[in-house]
Structure 1
Amino acid sequence: MSDRIESLIEARIRAARENGEFDDLPGAGKPLPGHSEPYDEQWWLKEFARREGISGGAMLPPSIQLARQVERLPDEVRRLPSEQRVRETVAALNREILDYQLRPSQPFVPVRRVDADAMVALWREALEARFAAARRPAPEQPRPRPRRRWFRRSEPPDDA
């Protein structure tokens, strides 16, 4: 039975080739993408992520994503415009951490809630540093030396 199905498929492919249905396909005559790269078992997953614009971090388990968010939080807090935004950002992250702690998933990564007051103190330090940098006068630029004239007019000689 499988021989008859295979011969039917081969016959249809041969008929389509004879009719020229494979002549104007996109990519005809070009090498297959990635043919010179070493074989990777996850090639299809990497290609899908690249094609759909999905970052590698989006495919990580929730526990690792939360741990990465906690790691990046100090840098993010330093750039926020107000103390209220700092507290809102920390509260949102703490809600996500609490949801994970109530329903953990593998791999089990211990993720602790973030202290909002510590993040506010960090934000204030960064704010003070920005103000101090703004108050600090710009270093003086050396004054340009006056240009020397290469061709000077000569003074008339004193014949007196």
Structure 2
Amino acid sequence: MAQPTGPIESWVERQISAAIERGEFDDLPGEGKPIPGIDDPPDPLWWIKRKMKREGLSVVPPSLALRKEVEDALEKAEAAHREQEIWDLLEPINKKIRAAIRVAPVGPPLNLMPIDIDRVVRRWNERRAR
């Protein structure tokens, strides 16, 4: 164990000095590199953001999530086997759109109107007739 260098050296400092002498800090990941984020402004949610990144999670604003849901539902409607499937897919989406229009969701503007299901069904029938 390393000898204290003076009366001010604390027990912790002595432990660190001893570990350095034993080489316990050699070859650590990131050695010689700047500490990531050291110059970033303080962020009280840093640990949440880091955890979400590490876990591969993301938070999508409700308006964007609804837009994606509409897009996915329209794709499924194109592949439907019966007209009723189209109605079953799109009517619940229209209810969500109407609700979101009444109470604006958090995030970017919704920019959606209820889907004209009759029009989707007409186009679906036209594609099937070809």
Q: Which residue of 2 aligns with 1:120?
A: 121
Structure 1 CA distance, aligned partners of 2:71 and 2:15?
Answer: 61
TM-score, normalised by the number of residues in structure 2: 0.54
Larger Rg, first or second structure (1 or 2): 1
Aligned-partner residue type, residue 56 of structure 2: G
Could you tell which deviates more after superposition, 119-128 or 89-98? Answer: 119-128
Tell me the matched-pair count: 111
- 1:50-129 aligned at under 5 Å gives the runs 50-54=53-57, 59-106=59-106, 107-129=108-130
- State the percentage of identical aligned residues: 22
Deviation at 1:100, TM superposition (A): 1.1
Answer yes or no: is the 8 Å Cα contact 1:66–1:111 preserved in 2. no
Q: CA RMSD in A?
A: 4.2
Structure 2 CA distance, aligned partners of 1:82 and 1:14?
Answer: 77
Unaligned runs of 5+ residues in structure 1 are: 1-6, 130-160
Answer yes or no: is the 8 Å Cα contact 2:97–2:114 preserved in 1. yes
Answer yes or no: is the 8 Å Cα contact 2:87–2:117 preserved in 1. yes
Report Cα offsets for 1:8-28 as digits up to 9, x if no partner: 9x74375377479xx5xxxx6
Aligned-partner residue type, residue 125 of structure 1: E
Unaligned runs of 5+ residues in structure 2 are: 1-7
SS at match of 1:76: helix
